[in-house]
Every structure is written in structure tokens, then in C-alpha cells.
Amino acid sequence: MATISRTGTDFEAASLAHPDIRFGKVDTEAEQGLARSAQISSIPTLMAFRDGILLYREAGALPAPALEELITAIRALDMDDVRSKVAAEQVPA
């Protein structure tokens, strides 16, 4: 139980530290369709999007320092480069 509590606290602290980022939680019991479409099979599952592109998805909790590193890395991405790579992956072979 301590891990879940700490994880929630770390998540909430990150959301307060980064008001320009939208943080959210999904009640997978109440929102089973959303959980299914997001392919959430473990709780917690952390997903990070930027400009509508899924950039990170992992089951399990991240401690506060790792969550901050993830946020920093996502902020540093060249999204034009990311969009180009996504577009290249969608081109049929």
C-alpha cells in the first residue's frame, strides 16, 4: 500500500510542479472501454502524450526523480522530428 500512496503523491506533486502539463487518471473499472482502447492491462500504467502523440507507455510506477526525468526528456523532444518519424512508420512498405 505504501507504493500506491507514494506513487499517487509523486504524481500529484508533479502535476502541481508542472501546471502547463495536463495530468489525468482513469478509473479503469468505470471506464473499461477507454482502458481497453488504451491497452491498459496493469495498474498503474503511465502514459505520456505530446501534441497528441503517445511518447511513453509503461506499466508500473515511477519514483519522483524518474518522473521528473521523463517530463524533462519529453519537453526536450524535437516534435517536428517525432512527427516525421511517426509519418514514416505509417507509410506502407
The residues facing 56 across adjacent strands are: 48
CB 71 within 8 Å of CB 17? no
| pLDDT surpasses 70 at 5 | no
CATH class of the domain at 2-90: alpha beta
Domain regions of the chain by residue span = 2-90
**For the segment 31-90, what is each residue's pLDDT rounded down to a tens digit?**
999 989 988 888 888 999 999 999 999 988 888 999 999 999 999 999 999 999 999 998
What pLDDT score does 79 carry?
96
Find the angle CA(40)-CA(72)-CA(89) to the nearest 5 degrees: 55
pTM score over 0.75: yes
Over residues 4-28, the mean pLDDT reads 81
Cα distance between residue 93 and residue 89, in whole Å: 9
Cα distance between residue 49 and residue 68, in whole Å: 15
| pLDDT surpasses 90 at 1 | no
Cα distance between residue 68 and residue 80, in whole Å: 23
